[in-house]
Amino acid sequence: MSYEKLDLQPFFDTVDELKPQFIERLRKAIAIPSVSADETLRPQVVKMAHFLVDELKSLGFHDIQLKDLGTQPPPVADPKLQLPPIVLARFGSNPDKKTVLVYGHYDVQPALKDDGWATEPFEMTLNEAQDIMYGRGTTDDKGPVIGWLNVIEAHNKLGWELPVNLVVCFEGMEESGSLGLDKLVEDEANQYFKGVDQVTISDNYWLGTKKPVLTYGLRGCNYYQIIVEGPGADLHSGIFGGIIAEPMTDLVHLMGELVDNKGKILIPGVYDMVAPLTDKEDALYDNIDFSVDELNAASGSETALHENKKDILKHRWRYPSLSLHGIEGAFSGAGAKTVIPAKVVGKFSIRTVPDIDSGKLDQLVFEHVTKKWQELGSKNKFKVELIHDGNYWVSNPFNKAFTAASHATQDVWNVVPDMTREGGSIPITLTFEKALGVDVLLLPMGRGDDGAHSINEKLDVPNYINGCKTLGGFLHYYGRGE
């Protein structure tokens, strides 16, 4: 696809020139163990917020605010535990320019060397031979957050004006449920965020390891449980086996009526709600760089249910799936225990896609499971309920923001990015879209093998440096009105 190319080479050259400083800035961020799930480390999460404030001040941001979210709701060991603040800041306030809001998070997953890390997780290690940086938060999400700051530093050094007004929103509880963020976004929609034209999130990854992507869709997730209870206490199978109704037997039967071993959902009406596949959408899958071999490598097995790229990706991104997750209350240890559980709880979820209505889906699930229960004629008690839900999100991959991001990606990587969706969920995407009434773009920095929540989390230096170029280039093309 041809486009009028901007001369961004001076910016790109400046990013390359500042590479040592950019690596050092990320190293300092990684050194702060901002683990939101660990109450004892909450001061470190707050320290990370103040680190960002200091960086923002030094770069020339204004109207910097630390938004207090109050105390963290139970369950907590410390009832007075304060939620970490949300960092808001602006760069530029020209009414003639578009305004882009960038979101990221400064908290990270827990990490200990004893978990199996090859290096200390909170001491960033640069493997110069492989050009890889290791450390907790390198890719999720401190690398991308610091990347936006690097973009500003490069512009400052060049003496270039930023082509848009920039608003940043950095939170410290993303890895622990983003407590307080939805309300803040809604409260600030007509206050701090008033006038925002577009939201960009860099908190996801390439599909693979070689080709950059732009992400325009996420599946939602409705999580359910089936409760079956009978005896007043766990019983001995030698005494009661064969003479009482066993809850586990009923539950296994019910869970077997939800999905077959080929992945087909057995609940009537679910597939009827799925948006039909258009030729234009189908064509987006043609050039995506992916194969069944990559799926097998990622799963560590050869158990793929589909044998070609397009079928795999469609079932991962744009069709619903039902997964069985576990049974609470049943014996699960090693060895042999002849117990009949008195009460068991089966957990399962459905990943939702356009145009599945969440409330209608709940109704279909409840009706189906209840019907199968009635067919059993069991003397046990039964209940099925929703635990939580989160809606799907899909955007237009041909809108101005995606077009601008595609042009910037082509400038930096010399390839047209793949347009991808993801099977997982990033709930804040939908919150921004609904509360602000603007388009959202997911612009990833890291690769598919970065191990975001795993041991030895990493970010390749080329992805970090070229990622900064891509973020900055996007602002230029979007500011021009692509």
Residue type, 427: P
> Cβ distance 169 to 87 under 8 Å?
yes
In total, the chain counts a number of residues equal to 482
Mean pLDDT, range 441-446, rounded to an integer: 97
Closest CA to 285 of 319, 310, 311: 310
- Residues with Cβ within 8 Å of residue 191, at least 6 apart in sequence: none
50 is in an annotated binding site: no
327 pLDDT exceeds 90? yes
Q: Kindly indicate the confidence band of residue 213, based on its pLDDT and cuts at 50, 70 and 90.
A: very high
257 is in an annotated binding site: no
Domain spans in the chain, listed from the N-terminal domain onward: 8-218+393-480, 220-274+319-390
Beta strand 62-67 with 132-134: parallel, antiparallel or unpaired? unpaired
Domain 8-218+393-480 has CATH 3.40.630.10: yes
313 pLDDT exceeds 70? yes
Q: List pLDDT tens digits, range 15-50.
A: 999 999 999 999 999 999 999 999 999 999 999 999
Q: List pLDDT tens digits, range 239-265.
A: 999 999 999 999 999 999 999 999 999
Per the annotation, the verdict on 362 as an active-site residue is no
Bridge partners for 224 per DSSP: 348, 386
pTM recorded for the entire structure: 0.90
Q: Kindly indicate the confidence band of residue 218, based on its pLDDT and cuts at 50, 70 and 90.
A: very high
Out of 22-26, 101-105, 389-393, least confident range: 389-393
407 is in an annotated binding site: no
Q: List pLDDT tens digits, range 56-77.
A: 999 999 999 999 999 999 999 9
181 pLDDT exceeds 70? yes
Per the annotation, the verdict on 482 as an active-site residue is no
482 pLDDT exceeds 70? no
Mean pLDDT, range 349-373, rounded to an integer: 97
Instruction: Determine if the peptide bond prior to 141 is cis (ω within 30°).
Output: yes
pLDDT at 1: 59
pLDDT at 235: 96
Instruction: Determine if the peptide bond prior to 389 is cis (ω within 30°).
Output: no
Q: What share of the chain is helix, strand, coil (3-state, %, to 5)?
A: 35, 20, 40
pLDDT at 424: 86
Q: List pLDDT tens digits, range 419-437.
A: 999 998 888 999 999 999 9
pLDDT at 231: 97
236 is in an annotated binding site: yes
314 pLDDT exceeds 70? yes
105 is in an annotated binding site: yes
Residue 356 structure tokens:
């599945």
Portion of the chain with pLDDT greater than 90, in percent: 95
Q: Cα–Cα–Cα angle for 131, 473, 157, nearest 5°?
A: 80
> Cβ distance 215 to 394 under 8 Å?
no
* Topology, domain 220-274+319-390: Alpha-Beta Plaits (3.30.70)
Mean pLDDT, all residues of the chain:
96
175 is in an annotated binding site: yes
Q: Kindly indicate the confidence band of residue 347, based on its pLDDT and cuts at 50, 70 and 90.
A: very high
Bridge partners for 323 per DSSP: 349
54 is in an annotated binding site: no
Which residue of the set 174, 188, 450, 460 is catalytic? 174
Q: List pLDDT tens digits, range 121-170.
A: 999 999 999 999 999 999 999 999 999 999 999 999 999 999 999 999 99
Which residue of the set 55, 107, 188, 482 is catalytic? 107
- What are the helix (H) ranges across 213-324? 237-240, 247-255, 279-284, 292-299, 309-317
